[in-house]
Amino acid sequence: MGNSFGFGEFTFLMHGLSWTVLLAAIAFVGGGIGGLGVALARTSTSLVARRITAGYIAVFQGTPLLMQLFVVYYGLGLLGLNLPAWLAVAIGFTLHASAFLGEIWRGAIEALPKGQTEAAKALGMHYLPRMRDVILPQAFRIALPATVGFLVQLIKGTSLAAIVGFIELARAGQIVSNQTFAPLLVFGVVGLVYFALCWPLSLYGSRIENRMARATAR
Encode pLDDT of 156-197 as tens digits: 999 999 888 889 999 999 999 999 989 999 999 999 999 999
Asked whether residue 59 is assigned to any structural domain, the reply reads yes
Asked whether residue 213 is assigned to any structural domain, the reply reads yes
- pLDDT per residue as tens, the chain (218 positions): 557 888 899 999 999 999 999 999 999 999 999 999 999 999 988 999 999 999 999 999 999 999 999 999 888 888 888 888 889 999 999 999 999 999 999 999 999 888 877 888 888 888 788 888 889 999 999 999 999 999 999 999 999 998 888 899 999 999 999 999 899 999 999 999 999 999 999 999 899 888 887 776 66
Asked whether residue 53 is assigned to any structural domain, the reply reads yes
Summarize pLDDT for 56-77 with one digit per residue, the tens.
Answer: 999 999 999 999 999 998 888 8
pTM of the model: 0.91
Distance (Å, rounded) from C-alpha 86 to C-alpha 58? 25
Asked whether residue 43 is assigned to any structural domain, the reply reads yes
CATH number of the domain within which 122 lies: 1.10.3720.10
Helix 183-217 to helix 136-157 angle (10° resolution) is: 160
Question: Considering its fold, how many domains does the chain have in total?
Answer: 1
Asked whether residue 2 is assigned to any structural domain, the reply reads no
**Contact in structure between 93 and 174 (CB atoms under 8 Å):** no
Tally of CA atoms within 13 A in the half-sphere of 11 that contains its CB: 3
Q: What domain range includes position 194?
A: 7-217
